[in-house]
Structure 1
Amino acid sequence: MPNHPVPYRVLLFICFISSFLSTNHACNKMDHDSLQSSFDTPSPLNWSSSDCCHWEGITCDENGRVTSLLLPSKGLKGGISPSLGNLTHLSHVNLSQNQLSGPLGTGLFLSMNHLEILDLSYNHLSGELPLSIPSIYIRVVNLSSNQFNGTTSSSFLQHASNLSSLNISNNLITGQIPSTICLSSSLVKLLDFSNNDFSGTVPLGLGNCSKLEVFRAGFNSLSGTLPSDLYNAFTLQEISLPSNMLFGSISDSIVNLSNLTILEIFFNQLTGTLPSHIGKLSKLKLMLLHFNKLQGFLPPSLMSCTNLVELNLAFNHLEGNISALDFSKLGQLTKLDFASNHFTGVLPTSLYSCKSLRALRLSYNDLEGQIQPEILSLESLSFLSLSSNRLTNITGAIKILMDFKILGVVILAQNFLGEHLPDGDAKIGSEFQNLRVFGMSNCQLTGQIPIWLSNLKKLEALDLSTNRLTGLIPGWLGTLPSLFFICLNNNSLSGEFPKELGSLLALQSPQAAREGHGYFELPLYTQRTNASVTSLQYNYLSNLPRAIYIRNNSLSGNIPTEIGHLQLLHELDLSANNLVGNIPDQMSNLTNLERLDLSRNHLSGGIPESLSNLHFLASFSVAYNNLQGQIPSGTQLQGFNGTAFEGNPGLCGPPLSNHCQQMNGSNVTKSIEDGHEIGNGIQWFISAALGFVVGFWGVCGPLVLSNSWRIAYFQFLSNVKDRFLGQ
């Protein structure tokens, strides 16, 4: 048929073109060999074919030269071989999210003159940064989240005239932040130097970054003031400089940065007042300036920042009548933290217009008045802290707050002074169904532990310390399935330690311990007693210690043996009570215990040798009891200071100075406690017991520390207030 020759010729042409393309895409032999030896350990990739242009993650040009090496999250291990530098046509390299380690070879990138994108982030690479990346085409350099150290060379990106993004955050880099980057390239949009150990000042020259949108250098050791030319980088959208040592004021010129959406300079030493026209930053979403030394009144224009989502000015020296501020325009606000300032007035009614508000903290100010029913307009509220003000009418407050549907954290400490804690309305507990944290410490409240708490099945942390509560500790506390933190210190509670507390499921079952928790909308803080700066910060509820504190009450009777069921307990403080009887052997089952204080009671008998099984114990005291016998020898108990045992005339042996009685002048000593014989000629020594100390606040992985280090560690923590829920 006459039409047959046409498709036949087409078929021949297609075959010819395919053959031509295949031939011209064959991998260059030098590139093939270089790729095969690019990683020190065998690659988990299937690179078995002869043509490397068909290998996973590899792209070649029309001449068979490798142009792209894109292998993120492929499980690559070991070092990067210098042979990678032979791939002279590479333009894109992405080896992020692997387990590569070791240094980068000297001159690794010197021959990569076409390199545009280099991403080695989230590996374990170490050593110094490359001396130079000479490619004039380089646009993106991401070496973040490794272990690079040393300083940044002046030639590092000297020729990077097209650079738009540099991220070397989360490393160990020292020295000063390079100031010439924007002189090399006017296209820079992102600079991230955060989480290193940079010192010196915030570099001058940022004003030359005419396209800079993001500047991050937080969590370093920078000092000095904010450079004036920073306010000339008109395209800036984010300034992030938290946790440095910056001082001075925020210039009024900051209003020039009309595109700014994130301003976070918390944990510094900034002074002065907020710029009076800060409201011109209409795009601002995050303003995080907590933990500085800002002072004065809040400018009314601040309430014109109508796009604010988070506003945190806590722990400054700000003042003024908070009632005069109009929050009604901040309809997108989700978190507001004004804690630890000098604000006065009552809770502003305009605040209740912020329908998106999830977290509100106004603690440690000088507010007064009562909690009004209008607060229920904040239907999304899950975190409320109004501690250390002068609020009144606790009964009204609780009856109002119980109508919140999702409220999970309520901290009202140091208010309602001397009032009576409502305890007769069982309906309260039936409404507070999502309450996980309840803190009412330091209120001098009277009454008893209220029965409505027994209905709070999601309650995980309870702090009623430093009040004037009387009566018994109710056994029904042991029925709350999620409760793992109980603080009842400094009350007038009496009766026995309830054996029902030995049934606390969250202190017994690892599975129950993993349930619940979650993060705090705003972190909880504890402060040292002798300083104004914070020592500990809790971002997650699970970071709180698993603890029972009942110090300084009037408990009597024996310590129940059921306490040995609480195997997940980290801290137990029953000091300054009237407990009698022996220390139960079952306490040796509390193998996660880090702190045990039984001092200032009327305990008798000996110290059980089984307590030597408490290998994580960092603080221990049985001082001022009626204990007798030899302190168990050859255990970590003897590594504690003698003050842990003082006030027990019948105790003997190291670390106390009084020796145990000798038997009939023979060469043995007799333990008054249990009759064990120990050779008199054997010199006693303090063992340097080593243990795997579990990170007390969620630190991943065991650390090997000597007992003396663990004691020193706890002595540091002992300077911290034991009111964990005060903020």
Structure 2
Amino acid sequence: MTLSFLAILFFSYFASTNHACHQIEKSSLMSFFLTLSSPPLNWTSMTNCCYWEGITCNQDGWVTRLHLPSKGLKGGIHPSLGNLTHLTHLNLSHNSLHCPTSKEIEFFLPLNRLEILDLSYNLLSGELPLSLPSNIQIVDLSTNHFHGVVPSSFFQQARNLTSFNVSNNTFSGPIPSFICPHSSPLIKLLDFSYNKFSGNISRGLGECSTLQVFRAGNNNLSGLLPEDIYNATTLQEIVLPVNLLHGTISDRIVNLTNLAILNLYYNQLSGVLPFHIGKLSKLKLILLHFNYLEGSLPPTLMNCTNLIELHIGDNNLEGDISALNFSKLGQLSKLDLWSNNFTGTIPMSLYSCKYLKAIRLSLNDLEGQIQPEIISLKSLSFLSLSGNKWTNITGAMKILMRCESLVYITFSYSFIGEEIPADDGLVGFDGFKNLRILSLCGCELTGQIPLWFSKLKKLEILNLDLNRFTGSIPSWLGTLPRLFYINLGSNFISGEFPKQLCRLAMLLSDPTAAQVDHNYLELPIFIRLRDNVKALQYNYLFYFPPSIYLYNNSISGNVPTEIGQLRLLHKLDLSFNNFSGSIPDQISNLKDLDALDLSLNHLTGKIPDSLKSLNFLSYLNVSYNDLEGPIPRSTQLQSFNASAFEGNQKLCGAPLPNECGLVNGSDADNKNSQDVDDEHHIPWFFISFVSGFIVGFWGVCGSLILKTAWRYRYFQFLDNVQDRLYVMRIMCMTMMRRRLRT
């Protein structure tokens, strides 16, 4: 009996697949095939198109499925595909297909049996037709170049539509209304993300009785969250980040008992968090950062026992977080509360969250010391506690060095005025074996750069900017095998530029640089270059430019010629120092260099003509040295502002206003006599004013400025050199210091 049954199945399968396809459909498929410029398809070896790759036919020989995702197809979509009237599944996703004309996209309109249409990840363009086939269930047009509006009529005939995705295109106008219930009553997923939609989110979502996912992030949507969205009780995801939405999150959100993802970050939402938000017991992700929320965290939030990630940074929230009981959040993996007004200390209950990988509490009003219980967080890799009132840096390092998974540590603008723990303070140091980033900028730490840093063999980014370190640059920095970013700016470091620093392995060759950590950071690093500008977001370490920042120190001697070995260096800032001698010609070997600052030194001689070859140079400053001769002529160097060269009285040529033929004789003498009082042409009355300003203003308001600057320039240590908030302080200190030397 069993063998007979199998024989019948085999015969039925053979009969259905052996039926020859219809000539009209074969011709239509060949027309499509011939429009492909590089078709890796073997469609000509067999006469029966039902056997062709990606083709499925029914028992009558009609083509029902065309399934060719990720085949490397290039070329146009021929309208002849509209002749495949029995087609139910069409998947041409993840290729490089385009529409020869704007009307070609309408090829699927005659396909009344079509249930699945997936053209995602192609190069298709044009506007959408006015309607969809009546039997369509899934439409995915994401990641193409479609534009125009999505008409509401597009959904009217699609009574069976369950999923509609047009994300990552350039659609504009309003998000279509009246999708439910009369047009598409079965809709479960709507994705309008990454387009140019604008205006308010229209009412009507509450009538989508089966809607589970609503995404419209990264658009220009404005207005309030529609009140009827809280009637869509089947919703599992609300994803509307990076828009212009304002107003409050209604208490009615507790009606959405199936909600697992609430993503509204980077909007203009205000008011307090719903007090009974803890009723949403299925919540896994809360992303509300970069808004204007206020008030305290509702205690009921701790009832969201399935919560995995909580992101509410950069708001105006307040309250004592040490009073919150995190022990119920057994699944919590990421806690991000940075840039608020929280007080207290790190909650002891947080250490019971055994799955925690990332903690960011920076830029609050927390205080106290790091407690040894943090060692119990075995998976903790990201710890950012900058801009708080922590004390006892030696104790903190002794504890944290035992957290074996730590990759990222920043305590910037903390431990103010303490001494960096020296080697005798960390006896038997053998920790931080996986540390990639260490930032202690703006702490006003004293002492010398400690030798135990040399044991951080996986360190890639070191930031010690804005401290009071003395001594010379340790030569062993050049032996750290993965270090590619160093910031020692604004300290009291003296001595010369060590030649060993020119042997940093990660800056020498591409094969070595390929070893930089490509792992995804547990929390993104945000950099806000200016107020009222969206912060840049970095998710990987290798996104950061290889850099050496030594500005505003007392480093002397020549710029070593060996610096030309650092061929992968992107940013070099040696400004505000005592470098002398000429600009080494070997800098022209740094072909990837995009920022070079040698200003406010004692450099002499000519600007090397070879600097013209630095084609990627977007920032240059050699001002206030003793350079002479003509500025090398090239479209690159002449594109910089004259301020990049000012303060060099013997320098001439564009973009400076003085022509080279005029800088001699009486003209040059007159110019030199005007500035004889100061080597860098800074008037005495200005220095007197600045000195008084610093002593009075900085002494009274320094801590407030420090806090505010850090709040609006988060992770300043990775910021652009020409855009520092502390330039006034740096320049003032340098001016006074140089005046004292003379």
**What TM-score do you get using the length of structure 1 for normalisation?**
0.88
| Further displaced range: 459-468 or 46-55 | 46-55
Q: Which residue of 2 aligns with 1:587?
A: 587
Query: In structure 2, what is the Cα distance between the partners aligned to 1:622 and 1:23?
Result: 76
What SS does the aligned partner of 1:294 have? Answer: strand
Residue matched to 2:521: 520
- Say whether the 8 Å CA contact 1:344–1:366 is kept in structure 2: yes
Contact 1:428 1:452 in 2 (8 A): no
Displacement of 1:203 after TM fit? Answer: 2.4
Aligned residue for 1:89?
Answer: 86
CA distance 1:635–1:128, change in 2 (3 Å): closer
Per-residue deviation at 1:219?
Answer: 0.6
Counterpart amino acid of residue 610 in structure 1 = S
Equivalents in 2 of 1:414, 1:383: separation in Å? Answer: 17
Question: Is 1:41 paired with 2:41?
Answer: no
Amino acid at match of 1:65: W
Taking the aligned partners of 1:37 and 1:47, their CA distance within structure 2 comes to 12
Change (3 A) 1:572 1:29: same
User: Could you tell me which amino acid in structure 2 is paired with residue 84 of structure 1?
Assistant: L
| 1:653 Cα deviation after fit | 1.6
Aligned residues: 661
Is the 2:554–2:577 Cα contact (8 Å) retained in structure 1? Answer: yes
Q: Flag the 1:569–1:427 CA change in 2: closer, same or farther, 3 A.
A: farther
* Distance verdict in 2 for CA 1:188–1:107, change over 3 Å: same
Contact preservation (8 Å) 1:312, 1:338: yes
Once residues 23 and 235 of structure 2 are traced to their aligned partners in structure 1, the CA distance between those partners, rounded to angstroms, is 47
Cα shift at 1:24: 8.4
Q: Is the 8 A contact 2:601 2:625 kept in 1?
A: yes
**Amino acid in the other structure paired with 2:620:** F
Aligned to 1:404: 403
Q: Give the equivalent residue in structure 2 for 1:361.
A: 360
- Confirm whether residue 719 of structure 1 aligns to residue 720 of structure 2: no
In the TM superposition, what whole-angstrom CA distance separates every residue of 1:658-677 from its partner, at most 9, and x where no partner exists?
22247999xxxxxxxxxxxx
SS at match of 1:314: coil
Could you say what secondary structure the match of 1:31 adopts?
helix
Indicate if the aligned counterparts of 1:96 and 1:119 stay in contact, CA closer than 8 A: yes
Task: Describe how 1:270-669 pairs up with structure 2 within 5 A.
Answer: 270-425=269-424, 427=427, 430-517=430-517, 518-529=519-530, 531=531, 533-661=533-661
TM-superposition CA deviations, 1:548-602 (whole Å, max 9, x none): 0011000011111111100000000000001111111111111110000000001
How far off its partner does 1:428 sit?
6.7
What secondary structure, in the 3-state scheme, does the structure 2 residue paired with 1:572 have? Answer: strand
Does the 8 A contact of 2:415 with 2:443 survive in 1? yes
- For residues 282-326 of structure 1, what are the alpha-carbon distances to aligned partners after superposition, in whole Å with 9 as ceiling and x for unaligned? 010000000000000110000110111000000000000111111
| 1:47 aligned partner, one-letter code | W
Deviation per residue, 1:135-190 (Å, 9 max, x gap) = 22111111111111111123222100111111111111111111122231221111
Q: How far apart in 1 are the matches of 2:87 and 2:270? A: 49
Change (3 A) 1:717 1:263: farther
Q: Residue 241 of structure 1: CA displacement?
A: 0.4
SS at 1:46 equivalent: coil
> Aligned-residue CA RMSD in angstroms?
2.3
Distance 1:95 1:279 in 2: 44
Q: Deviations over 1:228-254 (max 9, x none)?
A: 110011111111000000000000111
Q: Find the aligned partners of 1:255 and 1:223 in 2 and give their Cα distance.
A: 23
| Matched residue SS, 2:196 | coil
Q: Which residue of 1 aligns with 2:675?
A: none
- CA distance 1:36–1:145, change in 2 (3 Å): same
**Alpha-carbon deviation of 1:430?**
2.5
CA distance in 2, matches of 1:196, 1:549: 39
1:149 lines up with 2:156 in the alignment: no
Contact 1:526 / 1:720 at 8 angstroms: preserved in 2?
no
Letter matched to residue 296 of structure 1: G
Contact 1:314 1:337 in 2 (8 A): yes
Contact residue 149 and residue 171 of structure 1 kept, 8 A: yes
- 1:214 alignment counterpart: 213
Does the 8 Å contact 2:105/2:128 carry over to 1?
no
Give the alignment of 1:58-77 within 5 angstroms: 58-77=55-74
Q: In the alignment, which residue of structure 1 is the partner of 2:171?
A: 173
Distance 1:131 1:148 in 2: 14
Give 3-state SS (helix, strand or coil) of 1:170's partner: coil
8 Å contact kept, 1:138–1:162 = yes
Distance 1:22 1:440, change over 3 A: closer
Q: 1:506 to 1:429 in 2, by over 3 A?
A: farther
Residue type at the aligned position of 2:21: C
Write the deviation string for residues 32-80 of structure 1: whole angstroms up to 9, x where unpaired.
1111112422632122222112222212223221111111112221111
State whether structure 2 residue 26 is matched by structure 1 residue 32.
yes
8 Å CA contact retained: 2:152, 2:177: no
Structure 2 runs not aligned, ≥5 long: 666-718, 728-742
- Letter of the 1:453 counterpart: F
Aligned-residue identity in percent: 60
Q: Deviations over 1:92-140 (max 9, x none)?
A: 111111111124526422321111111111111111123322x221111
Residue 414 of structure 1 and its aligned partner are, at CA, apart by 0.5
* d(CA) in 2 for partners of 1:399, 1:20: 73
Cα distance in 1 for residues equivalent to 2:372 and 2:233: 45
User: Contact 2:237–2:259 (CA<8 Å) still a contact in 1?
Assistant: yes
Structure 2 Cα separation of the partners of residues 551 and 28 of structure 1: 76
Alpha-carbon distance in 2 for matches of 1:717, 1:483: 19
The change in CA–CA distance for 1:427 and 1:509 in structure 2 (over 3 A counts) is farther
Give the Cα–Cα distance (whole angstroms) in 1 for the partners of residues 580 and 12 of structure 2: 93
Residue 136 of structure 1 is aligned with which of 134, 137, 143? 134
Q: C-alpha offsets along residues 512-542 of structure 1, whole Å, 9 cap, x if unaligned? A: 211132221111122235x165432221111
The letter of the residue matching 2:612 is: S
Q: Please give the per-residue CA displacement for 1:482-506, whole angstroms capped at 9, x wherever unaligned.
A: 0010011110000001111100000
Task: Verify the 8 A CA contact 1:535 1:720 in the aligned structure 2.
Answer: no
* Partners of 1:551 and 1:361 in 2: CA distance: 29
Q: Distance in 1 between matches of 2:663 and 2:228?
A: 83
Aligned residue identity for 2:574: L
Q: Distance in 2 between the 1:265 and 1:581 partners? A: 55
Secondary structure in 1 matching 2:197: coil
In structure 1, the partner of 2:95 is 98
Alignment partners' CA distance in 2, 1:423 and 1:385: 22
Q: Helix, strand or coil for the counterpart of 2:209?
A: coil
Show CA shifts across 1:457-493 (max 9, x none): 1000000010111000100000001001001111000
Give the C-alpha shift of residue 361 in structure 1. Answer: 0.3
- Segments of 5+ residues of structure 1 without an aligned counterpart are 1-9, 666-714
Assess, with a 3 A threshold, how the Cα gap between structure 1 residues 107 and 550 changes in structure 2: closer, same or farther: closer
Q: Is the 8 A contact 1:220 1:243 kept in 2?
A: yes
Q: Quick one: distance in 2 between partners of 1:149 and 1:367?
A: 49
Deviation at 1:717, TM superposition (A): 8.0
State the alpha-carbon separation in 1 of the partners of residues 251 and 636 from structure 2: 60
Distance between the aligned counterparts of 1:137 and 1:22, measured in 2? 24
Rounded Cα–Cα distance in structure 2 between residues aligned with 1:91 and 1:629: 75
| Alignment partners' CA distance in 2, 1:355 and 1:638 | 58
Counterpart of 2:639, as a letter, is G
Contact 1:527-1:721 within 8 A present in 2 as well = no
- CA deviations 1:677-726 (Å, max 9, x no partner) are xxxxxxxxxxxxxxxxxxxxxxxxxxxxxxxxxxxxxx998436599xxx
Structure 1 contact 527–720 (Cα < 8 Å) conserved: no
